[in-house]
Amino acid sequence: MAFAPINKNYHDFFVVRDKDACINCQVCVRQCSYGVHFWDEARQCVRHDNTKCIGCHRCEALCPTQALLIQEKPSNFKANALWRPVFIKNIYKQADTGGVLLSGMGSPADIPVYWDNLLLDASQVTNPSIDPLREPMELRTFLGSKPTRLEFEETPEGPRVKTKLKPNIALNFPIMFSAMSFGSINFNLHIAMARAASELGTYYNTGEGGLHQSLYKYGKNTIVQVASGRFGVHRDYLNAGAAIEIKIGQGAKPGIGGHLPGEKINAKVSETRMVPIGSDAISPAPHHDIYSIEDLHQLIYALKEASEYKVPVSVKIAAVHNVAAIASGVVRAGADIVAIDGMRGGTGAAPAMIRDNVGIPIELALASVDQRLRDEGIRNNASIVAAGGTRCSADVVKAIALGADAVYIGTAALLAVGCTLCARCYTGKCPWGIATNDPYLAKRQNPDIAAKKMANLMKAWAHEIEEMLGGMGLNSIESLRGNRDKLRAVGLNQIELDTLGVKAAGR
């Protein structure tokens, strides 16, 4: 191709434009933030440059005459089981740029999805199933430390609980919106998550970018996060939410920090993060004050002191090889909630090599953590929240049966507002107005519509969870928690079955 580097032609997508249907309205031109579509003055019609297409499907979705089709470029390299096209193209890219390969969202790598190998039970004949439309069904979930035993005392008004209970947060559904910082996603979606969580009676997590003053009113349904960069952390912030979360790691990029590029730091982000406008916001890989479980203990208690022991403190860790031992340490350090983020969890930006090769799937991590805490007799000291790759309500049910108290959804919430997983969040040019702070693009997320969609998704899942519970003859989510007898596995080896603590189907 003349005037262009050779590798430009190894692009991933191409645009098919039905010329009979195209009305040259230029909606595609205005919607594409990557400059694929353009008005050709010489030919007086809309044309496109395939090399720029990243496959977000925004143009296809908004084309009024369905004239557009975005396809994967069918051109193939010679088949090679080792050198798959993704590796070949990556090498071309890196040979051109000398840079680290960046990516966004969760890993698309072909790693077993254990949810798909797990099947749920249902009642037949010997135990009755329950119809959730006619009988009460309890999805209410409490997160936080539970006492080992309860003591009661007699009072003139009747028996009273004598044991001092630790602070818990109450969720109407065992699902929360995962930590996505203001900055990585824009303000419109933060308002939307806050409103949806408030309407539903569940929680959203601020992520590591602080909480804008105008969102303090949703504090009752907010979990405020403290990460290694300590962005936006101050006394009022710590007391603004219903729980505090210390972020140690993220499933998409265990062991490394974060980098919000300066271009995404506008006035509002700057004010919230407490960093100058336009400066890069870099979260260090470790917390520089945490080099041991004892140090973590100090931070947990520093935060509990700062919030006067009124709110539970959560610690979020990435699912890595020794996750069970680490979680045990975290609980012993005083965490009231342990959030485990599996390797398929999303991100606004991560080196592709880390995202696709570091960590372990959440299903295995969750099962081993739950088992370890039970074996050690400390499971009641903390709730477990599973994150990273929850795609549907059945995944939620399976996670709870494997031992989770609740799940975090991040990617699913973004999909609800239009995300198509093009995985270019790190460019800040998200055509769906999600992972961008460009005011022209961010407007594409109308907070009213986004809040409604997020709430709808959660309600739909809650209905489905009720149906699945009822089918199993359970009328409360509590009865499913850690109840692995409600799960059977297909196509797994004995070690996987043992780790998951699940019997093979038929057994």
Partner 1 sequence: MKKIYPNKEVCIGCHLCEVACVTAHSKTKDHILAHNVEKAQEGLAPRRNVAQEGAVCVALSCRHCQEPMCVAACISGALTKNTETGRCEYNEEQCVGCWSCLMACPFGSIRRHPFKEKIVKCDMCAGRDTPACVEACPNAGLVFEDRGSD
Stretch that binds partner 1, among 20-28, 267-275, 355-363, 384-392 (CB under 8 A): 20-28
Selected binder of partner 1 within 443, 456, 460, 491 (CB under 8 A) = 443
Selected binder of partner 1 within 209, 433, 470, 482 (CB under 8 A) = 433
Assess contact for 36 and 18: CB atoms under 8 A: no
Asked if 456 is part of the footprint of partner 1 (rule: CB under 8 A), the reply reads no
Comparing CB distances to partner 1, the nearer of 62 and 504 is 62
Selected binder of partner 1 within 23, 100, 109, 325 (CB under 8 A) = 23
Selected binder of partner 1 within 440, 456, 460, 498 (CB under 8 A) = 440
Asked if 438 is part of the footprint of partner 1 (rule: CB under 8 A), the reply reads yes
The 3-class SS string of 365-421 reads HHHHHHHHHHHCCCHHHCEEEEECCCCCHHHHHHHHHCCCCEEEECHHHHHHCCCCC
Comparing CB distances to partner 1, the nearer of 187 and 203 is 187
Nearest to 432 by CA among 204, 178, 189: 189
Tokens of 209: 């970018």
Comparing CB distances to partner 1, the nearer of 21 and 170 is 21
Selected binder of partner 1 within 1, 20, 99, 506 (CB under 8 A) = 20
Nearest to 204 by CA among 185, 163, 176: 176
Comparing CB distances to partner 1, the nearer of 263 and 438 is 438
Selected binder of partner 1 within 9, 39, 40, 65 (CB under 8 A) = 65
Comparing CB distances to partner 1, the nearer of 22 and 102 is 22
Comparing CB distances to partner 1, the nearer of 62 and 306 is 62
Amino acid at 123: S
Amino acid at 429: K
Cα torsion 61, 391, 441, 214 to 10°: value is 140
CA–CA dist 201, 421 (Å, integer) = 28
Selected binder of partner 1 within 276, 278, 439, 491 (CB under 8 A) = 439
Comparing CB distances to partner 1, the nearer of 404 and 441 is 441
Selected binder of partner 1 within 270, 427, 446, 483 (CB under 8 A) = 446
Asked if 444 is part of the footprint of partner 1 (rule: CB under 8 A), the reply reads yes
CA–CA dist 481, 401 (Å, integer) = 5
Selected binder of partner 1 within 8, 10, 12, 24 (CB under 8 A) = 24
Instruction: Write each residue from 27 to 56 as x if it is in contact with partner 1 (CB under 8 A), else as -, in one continuous string.
Output: x--xx-------------------------
Assess contact for 142 and 168: CB atoms under 8 A: yes
Assess contact for 93 and 7: CB atoms under 8 A: yes
CA–CA dist 415, 12 (Å, integer) = 22
Closest distance of CB 448 from partner 1, Å: 7
Asked if 26 is part of the footprint of partner 1 (rule: CB under 8 A), the reply reads yes
Stretch that binds partner 1, among 90-98, 228-236, 435-443, 496-504 (CB under 8 A): 435-443
Residue 327 neighbours by CB under 8 Å, 6+ apart: 317, 338, 340, 369, 372, 373, 384
Phi, psi at residue 236, to the nearest 5°?
-65, -40
Pairing outcome for strands 158-161 and 152-155 = antiparallel
Asked if 428 is part of the footprint of partner 1 (rule: CB under 8 A), the reply reads no
Comparing CB distances to partner 1, the nearer of 329 and 433 is 433
Residue 132 neighbours by CB under 8 Å, 6+ apart: 463, 466, 467, 469, 470
Comparing CB distances to partner 1, the nearer of 21 and 100 is 21
Selected binder of partner 1 within 7, 10, 12, 25 (CB under 8 A) = 25
> CA torsion sign, 240 to 228 to 178 to 265?
positive
Comparing CB distances to partner 1, the nearer of 119 and 449 is 449
Binding site for partner 1 (CB under 8 A): 20-21, 23-27, 30-31, 62, 64-65, 433, 438-440, 443-444, 446, 448-449
